[in-house]
Structure 1
C-alpha cells in the first residue's frame, strides 16, 4: 500500500461507489461445529398449575471460548479531528490509540480510515493490514491535525459508503468505530440509515453529545456506546472492543421460539424486556425471532420468556410441551442450523408456589435481578436529566437494597459487580455538575452494556470489580493496552500471536466446541435407545 497523500483525500458529500477494497488473503475458518451452543432451559419455578398459570423461562446461547476460527474483520474507523480535539491533547491520545489498533490487526483484517471536521473524508480504502500497510497507516494517522467543526453525520456516511461498496465480503464482518469529543455543528447523524452494520461509538470528554452517540450505537445491531472521560487514554476503550471484533466466530446469530400451540397448553409467549435486539413475531404461527448479529468468543445471550398457560383438562400431573428454542448462525457465509431445545414443564394439581432452589433456577433469578438493576439505572438517568437528583439517587439506593435479596452462592461475582456499578453511579450523581460532566455518560454506557449483554467501557470504573460481559480476549487486551500506554515502543503481539498463546495455555479450547457437539449427539442417541427399549418391554 502506498502512502495516502492530502491530494488523494475524497470529501464525502454523498454515497460514493468506491469499489476499491483490497482483496484479503483467505482465512482458514477451521471447524464450524458447535461454535454457538444452546444451554438447557432454566425455569423460575419447577412446575406449573393445571389451572391457568405463567411460566418464566430462560434460553441461553453461548459462543465458544476459543477464537482459533474467526471471521475476517473489515473495520472502518471514523475519527473526530475537529478543533476541540486539541484540548487535553485528545488528538495525540487518539493517534496513540490508533497505533495500538493498527498493530493488533493482521493481513486477514482490513482497515479503512475516515475522519471528519466540517466535512468528512476517506483517507484510506479498506486495505489488508500487512506489516508494510501498518507503517503506512500509522504515518497517515500521525499527519492528522485538528481544526474546524464537527460533522458526525458526514463521518457516518463516509464509513457506510466504504462498507456498502465492498467487492470482497464473503466470510467477513463489517464494523464501524466512531469517536467524537464534541457536539454536532453540521448535519444530523440521527437521520443516517445504518442498515445492518454495527456501530461502536466513543464519547471523548465532558463536552461530547453522549446522548447522540448512544442513540447511534443503539440504532445499530449490536453496537455499544463507551464513555471516555477527560484524561483517559483512548487505547484502553479501543482495545476492549477490538478484543471482541478480532474474535467474532459467528454472524447472523438468531434465536427462534416456536410455541407448541397444537398441544393445547400455551396461550401466549412474550419475550421479557431487557434483551435489546431486533425481535419479530410471525402473526400466523406465533414464532418469535430474535436477531443478535455477531457473537464474540466467550460471549453469551440470555433471553427471558413468559409463557401464559391455559386451563388444562387433565386431572393429574404430566409433562407439558410448551415451545421449542432453536438457534442458527453463519460462518464463512454458510448457514448452521442447530439442534432445537425443548421448553417444557411439569403441570401438577399441587404446584410449588416458591421460586425454584436449583442452581439453574437461582441463576435465572439473578438474571431477572440484573435486568431490574439495568432498568433502575435508566430510570435514575431520566430523573437526573430532569434535575431531580435526589429522586435519582433514591432509585439507585433502592436498587442496591434489592440486591440483598438475591441468594446465589455460586454467582456472588455478578452481585458484587452490580453493587459496585450502582455505587460508582451514586458517586457520579452527588452534584448536578458532576452528573452532567461524567454521570450521564456513565449511565448511558451501562444501559448499552446491559441491553446488548456486551461489554462497554465506562472510564474510571474499569476495575476488576466491574467488567460485566467482558471476554477473555478483552481482559488480555486490557493489560496490553495498559503496557502500551507506558511504553508504545515495546513489541505488541498480533492477534495471531494472541491465538497461539491462548492455545498453548489451553490446548483443548480449540476443539472443545466440536467435542461438545459429538457428546451431545451421543447423549441424544442414548436417550433414543433408552426410549425404544422402555416402550418395547
Structure 2
C-alpha cells in the first residue's frame, strides 16, 4: 500500500487515506482507479509480474488491499525491510536495437576516414651532451582521441546507457526542483533513439522512476512524465540512490557500448556516514559494482548542487568510480553543467585505451610516470611502463609525464633512442580493437650541448602536475584549519612559475591555471568562504586536473560555455582588499575549462540558447 504524501504517477494527485493507492513493483505509485488493469506500467512501460485487475475499486476496502499485499508477497514481488520495498531484479530494460549491416559498414568507413588515436612524444631537451648522463630526464607522452566520425548528417557514435540518480529531499523543493526538471528535460531531448535512460530518485529511500528505456519519441514522453512526477520531501540517503542506480545497470539484460551514471545532490547524507576519529569514510557510499575493478567500470559523474552539499562525499564517489565532480554554485545553470557532461558521454570514440612504453636503448630506464588518476605502472626492471587511459571523448587529449635515465653515449653514438610508445584501444563505433604506434622519443648526442631551451610542452605539463599536487596539499592544510598555510602553498606555486619556467608566461593555458590558483587561494584563505565554496572548488579542480577532463564549476550566475584565456571570473572579490581584481567571467574556471572538448562546448552552447529562449528561472542559494 502506498503511504500518505506520495503522488499518483498517472494523475499527479495526492495519495491520502481518502484516496488510497498502491506501489507497483517498478516503484511507481498509483491510485487504484487510475490504472485500467493489466500488467504494464502506464508510465515506464515496465512489465509487472502481477496483473492488476480492473475490478479493484478506486477506494478499495481493507480486504481488497489485504488481498493485493498477500498476492505480492506470494509472488515475491517485493523484499520488505521496515517501510522500504526493493524490487528483486531489474531485468525489464528495453532491448537495444542492433543497427543494420549497412549502417555498421558506413560507420566503419566514416571512422576509418576520420583517423585513429594520435600519439606524440616531447623530450625535455632535444640534445644531451655525449659524455653526460641524465637522471630523471622528462618526456611528455601526448595522446589525442579521434574526432566523431560523421556520415553526411548522421554521427557515428556508440549508444549510451544513462542512469540519473536525483536528490528529491525536502531541501530540493521549490525552485531547485523546477530547475532540475528543466535540466532533465534538456538531457532527454538530446538523447538519441538508440540511447537508453533510467531515472532514479532518492530522499529517505530510493525508487526507480522509469526503467532503462530507449529514447524513442514514446520513450522520451514517458521519461518526461516521470520527471514531472518528482516531488521533494524527506531526508538525503545518497547510498540508497546509488544502490538503486547500480541495480538498474547490474540487472540489465542488454548493454549499450557506453554506460554512465549522473548523481546530483544538494545536501549531506545523514543515514550512512559514521565518524572515524576526525574523518568520515565516504567510500561506504559507493556500491561495490561501481568501484573500479577492471576495464569496464561505470563512472559516476557527481554534481554538488548549491553550497550546502557534501563536497567530500561527491568527490570521493567520483574518484572511486572514475567519474567527474562538478560544483554548481549558481543553481540557475544546472542545465549547462548537465549539458557539458552529456556532450562528452555522447561523443565517446575510444574505450579500453592503454599506452605501452618500451625502452629502446639498453641503458635507458624508466624511473616513474605521473599519470594522475590513471593507473601507471613501471616494470620491475625499468624497461617497460604502461598507462591505462580507458575511455576518451572525441578530440579529448591526455598528457603524461615520464621520467627516464639517459646513459652516457658511445663514441660513435650521434642519437640515442629513448623510448617507443604504442597504444591499444577499442573503436567505440565499430567495436574493433586497434593498435597504433606513436613517435619514438630520441635525443641528439653532440660533443657539447649548451644554451638549450627546454620544451614548452614538458614545462607546461610539469607545472600543471606540480600545481595539482599543491592543490591537494592546500586542501589538506585547510581541512586542518591552516587556512593561511593553504593560501601560502598556492601563492608559492604561482611565484615558482616565473622562476622555473619564464617562457610559459605568455602561454594561454598557463595564464588560465595561474588565474585558477589565485581564485582558489582567495577561497581557502578564509574559513567561512572555504566551508561555503572553497572545499568544493578545490575538489573540482583536483579531480579535473587528475583526469584532464572538464568539469563544471558554475560561479556567480555566469554561464558562458567557452573558457577564456584570462580564466576564472573574479568579480566575487571586487572591492575586497588583498583580492584579485575583476576579470571577464567564464563558466568553468581556469585550466579546468581548458579541457572542454568541441562536442562539450557545442552542447553547453545549445543549453544556453535553450535557457535564454525559454526565459530565466532563478533560484537563489
TM-score, normalized by the shorter chain, greater than 0.5 = yes
Q: Following superposition, which runs of at least 4 residues in structure 1 exceed 6 angstroms of deviation?
A: none
Q: SS of 1:264's equivalent?
A: coil
Of 300, 305, 324, 2:397 maps to 300
Q: Which residue of the other structure, out of 144, 150, 164, is the alignment partner of 2:250? A: 164
Q: Is the 8 A contact 1:317 1:347 kept in 2?
A: yes
Alignment of 1:127-526 (within 5 A): 127-169=213-255, 172-187=257-272, 190-191=283-284, 192-193=287-288, 194=290, 195=292, 196-221=297-322, 223-229=323-329, 231-260=331-360, 263-272=361-370, 275-283=372-380, 286-312=383-409, 314-331=410-427, 332-352=430-450, 354-356=452-454, 361-405=455-499, 406-408=501-503, 412-460=507-555, 464-465=563-564, 466=590, 467-488=593-614
Measure, in 2, the Cα distance between the counterparts of 1:256 and 1:4: 52
Query: Structure 1's 165 and 58: CA in aligned 2 closer, same or farther, altered over 3 A?
Result: same
User: Deviation per CA, 1:280-316, whole angstroms, max 9, x where unpaired?
Assistant: 345478532222221111210111100013445x234
Specify the alignment match of 2:121 in structure 1: 41
User: Match of 1:118, SS?
Assistant: coil
Extract unaligned runs of 5+ from structure 2. Answer: 1-7, 11-22, 28-83, 151-155, 274-281, 565-589, 617-621
Following TM superposition, by how much is the alpha carbon of 1:23 offset from its aligned partner in structure 2, in angstroms? 1.8
Q: Which runs of 5+ in 1 are unaligned?
A: 491-537
Q: Normalising by structure 1, what TM-score?
A: 0.82
Distance 1:156 1:247, change over 3 A: same
Distance across 2 between alignment mates of 1:487 and 1:324: 52
* Segment of structure 1 superposing worse, 284-293 or 141-150: 284-293
Contact persistence 1:53–1:310 (CA under 8 A): yes
Query: Which has the larger helix fraction?
Result: 1
Cα distance in 1, alignment partners of residues 169 and 383 from structure 2: 50
Q: What is aligned with 1:24?
A: 97
Taking a change above 3 Å as real, the CA distance of residues 74 and 105 of structure 1, as seen in their structure-2 partners, is same
Pair member with larger Rg: 2
Q: Secondary structure at the match of 2:269?
A: coil
**Aligned equivalents of 2:115 and 2:265: distance in 1?**
35
Distance in 1 separating the partners of 2:88 and 2:320: 20
Shift of 1:489: 8.7
The change in CA–CA distance for 1:176 and 1:455 in structure 2 (over 3 A counts) is same
Q: How does 1:70-85 map to 2 (within 5 A)?
A: 70-85=157-172
Shift of 1:13: 4.9
Measured against aligned partners, the alpha-carbon deviations of 1:409-454 in whole angstroms (never above 9, x if no partner) come to 7962212211221232233235211111111101110111111000
Correspondences of 1:2-17 after superposition (within 5 Å): 7-10=24-27, 13=86, 16-17=89-90
Structure 2: how far apart are the matches of 1:402 and 1:131?
56
Q: Displacement, 1:248?
A: 0.8
Instruction: State how far apart, in whole Å, the 2-side matches of 1:42 and 1:285 are.
Output: 20
Compared CA separation, residues 200 and 316, structure 1 to 2 (3 A)? same
Indicate if the aligned counterparts of 1:71 and 1:250 stay in contact, CA closer than 8 A: no
- In 1: Cα distance, 2:505 partner to 2:195 partner: 39
Counterpart in the other structure of 1:63: 145
Q: Could you say what secondary structure the match of 2:595 adopts?
A: coil
Mapped to 2, the partners of 1:385 and 1:35 lie a distance apart of: 47
- Higher RCO (Cα < 8 Å, 6 or more apart): 1
TM superposition shift of 1:70: 1.6
Q: Bigger shift: 419-428 or 291-300?
A: 419-428
> How far is 1:126 from its partner?
1.6
Contact preservation (8 Å) 2:9, 2:226: yes
For 2:353 and 2:196, locate their aligned partners in 1 and report how far apart those are by CA, in whole Å. 23
Q: Compared with structure 1, are the counterparts of its residues 340 and 483 closer, same or farther at alpha carbon in structure 2 (3 Å cutoff)?
A: closer
2:398 aligns to what SS in structure 1?
A: strand
Contact in 2 for aligned 1:327/1:338 (Cα 8 Å): yes
| C-alpha distance 346-255 of structure 1, shift in aligned 2 (>3 A) | same
Change (3 A) 1:417 1:429: same
- Structure 2 distance, partners of 1:389, 1:410, is 28
Asked if the contact 2:365–2:382 (Cα under 8 Å) also holds between the matched residues in 1, the reply is no
Question: What is the rounded CA distance, in whole Å, between the counterparts of 1:167 and 1:341 in structure 2?
Answer: 42
CA distance in 1, matches of 2:506, 2:373: 23
> By how many angstroms is 1:63 displaced?
1.4
Instruction: Note if contact 1:17-1:161 (Cα within 8 Å) is conserved in structure 2.
Output: yes
8 A contact 2:369–2:377 mirrored in 1: no
User: Which deviations, in whole Å up to 9, do the C-alpha atoms of 1:5-27 show, x marking residues without a partner?
Assistant: 65343477587352533323526
